[in-house]
Amino acid sequence: MNLQRWRNRTRSWAFAAILALALMPLGCAEDNDDGTGPGDDIERIQQIFPTSLHAARLGKATFYEAADGFQSLTGIPMSELACTKCHATTYADGSPVDHATYAPGCRDCHVDPEDPGAEEVSDQTCLGCHGRQGAEQNLFQDVHRSAGMECMDCHTEREMHGDGNSYASFLAPGASDAACERCHTVSADDNNYHQIHLATVHCSACHVKSVSSCYNCHFETEVVQEKKRYFNQTPRTGFKMLMNFNGKVHTATFQSLTHDGESFVAIAPFYGHSITKEDISCRDCHLQGGNGNPNVKAYDETGKIVVTSWNPSAQGAERLVGPSGVIPIPGDWKTSLEFTFLQYTGDVNDPINGAQNLPSWDYLKSTADGSHIVYGSPLTQEQMDALIDH
């Protein structure tokens, strides 16, 4: 079997990315195989695959069924939702997927499951399911993509196939192998920014240009149509949140939802595929002499950060203002962060179309009936003070 093509794919691309970021290269991983890859033991992979995130899909349930999760407002069990059966339109070989009988399996990614190494898994196959990452490719520039890198140059075979352990989420310890340090090795002596931040701030906090959010998912549509309807069907960008995750300040995003007049917001660590070397400034995050990050300034002066607001005098998608810039998550985030929640006034069976649906979206409220953070934690008071230069 031609399975060697599963390996030794990252060396040249990783080196190109190192040059693109102009960091200090001390070498990359020889390949993307950590010893738990397919080798020639397809039977073993088939045995452990059910424990993988691709098969078990525990992440959505972990967030939804948390004690303070969205289920506490909807009262609808996860077992009655189609979330865990989400799938692409076709299998990797192009044949259509029957939603009624679908179950995760080898055909999702491999054109020929009997000879998986005969053809590499393309990024387009990955993006058939990972829609947010597909949208990112249309929304953002990224130095890794510009260098020709592909999904599996960072994400390993162990992530795809599992390792025999069940992980509650992609954010759970041990679930992911992707890490900047696999290719980039930097020293605190590289520059002043690294001297100040390297020990406590994750690479993403500075180098991720923007994250995204599919704003205000309409849960009633998800229940009835098993499809996602959200405001304008275009992700909101131009912002990134900051929170603590795995011992460092990390980028994060949020998801707002409504159901039957009740509102909910979840915040979680998130890595946006919008990596840049340029346009990084201290004032993006900090106040210096009272000037800089407007969100930090607002929090310092009022104790509030308006993440989004509603302008009824504007037209179309412009009625929703924000989110914008670097948004720190303070310890009192449940009361200090203000979100605008929307309602869809059309019929739940309306076809999902951004432009056609847009007039039926309207303001609902500016208070959250429920909220949670499952992974990571808000910034400490000391960290918030460090953003404010008096």
- At 125 the pLDDT is 94
- At 188 the pLDDT is 67
The backbone torsions φ and ψ at residue 241, rounded to the nearest 5 degrees and listed phi first, read -95, 160
> Residue 277 in 3-state DSSP?
coil
- At 3 the pLDDT is 35
Kindly write down the DSSP assignment for every residue of 65-80, as one continuous string.
TSTTSTHHHH---GGG
- At 40 the pLDDT is 52
The DSSP secondary-structure symbol of 123 reads H
Structure tokens at 29: 């991983």
- At 2 the pLDDT is 35
d(CA 220, CA 224): 6
d(CA 37, CA 21): 29
Residue showing tokens 């192998």: 177
Residues 331 and 380: beta-carbon distance below 8 Å: yes
Per-residue pLDDT of the chain (390 residues; tens, 9 = 90+): 333 333 333 333 332 332 233 333 333 434 444 444 444 588 899 999 999 999 999 999 999 999 999 999 999 999 999 888 889 999 999 999 998 899 999 999 999 998 888 888 999 999 999 999 999 999 999 999 999 999 999 999 999 999 999 999 999 999 999 999 999 887 767 788 888 899 999 999 999 999 999 999 999 999 999 899 999 999 999 999 999 999 999 999 999 999 999 999 999 999 999 999 887 899 999 998 889 999 999 999 999 999 999 999 999 999 999 999 999 999 999 999 999 999 999 999 999 999 999 999 999 999 999 999 999 999 999 999 999 975
- At 186 the pLDDT is 79
- At 15 the pLDDT is 29
| Helix and strand counts by DSSP (H, E) for the chain | 16, 15
- At 390 the pLDDT is 52
Please report, as a single letter, which amino acid is at residue 324.
Answer: S
User: pTM (2 decimals)?
Assistant: 0.88
| CA–CA distances in Å: residue 48 to residues 12, 31, 57, 108, 161 | 31, 22, 14, 16, 7
Residues 164 and 51: beta-carbon distance below 8 Å: yes
d(CA 192, CA 34): 34
